[in-house]
Amino acid sequence: MPRLTKKEFISQELTNDPKATGLKVGDLVKWENDNGVLWEHKVIGFCHDDYMAINCGMVVYLDKASYWFPLNPKYIKEINGKPVELPQA
């Protein structure tokens, strides 16, 4: 199976529906990894039927080098510079 380009991945595999989290495509989010390092990236889409979404209800995809690897929303600390606590599934 040929690998999708980033543009194809976004248009074919992701949804714009964030399921009432307060997130939307284009938001700038600050998120914290397991080691406590903060990162800042733009939201490119969401997925509700991804293998990782089984445990958290949905996952968020960010415009980063590994754009195809989703993020559990629980790691998001800020949306557009405002502190946030997203509801857990």
Give the model confidence (pLDDT) of 54-88 as tens digits. 677 788 899 999 998 889 888 999 899 888 866 55
pLDDT value at 40 more than 80: yes
Largest Cα–Cα separation, the chain: 41
- pTM here? 0.80
Residue 89 predicted with pLDDT over 70: no
Residues 53 and 37: beta-carbon distance below 8 Å: no
Beta bridge partners of 85: none
Whether residue 41 has pLDDT greater than 90: yes
Residue 29: its H or E element: strand 28-32
Please name each of the domains of the chain with its CATH number: 6-81 (2.30.30)
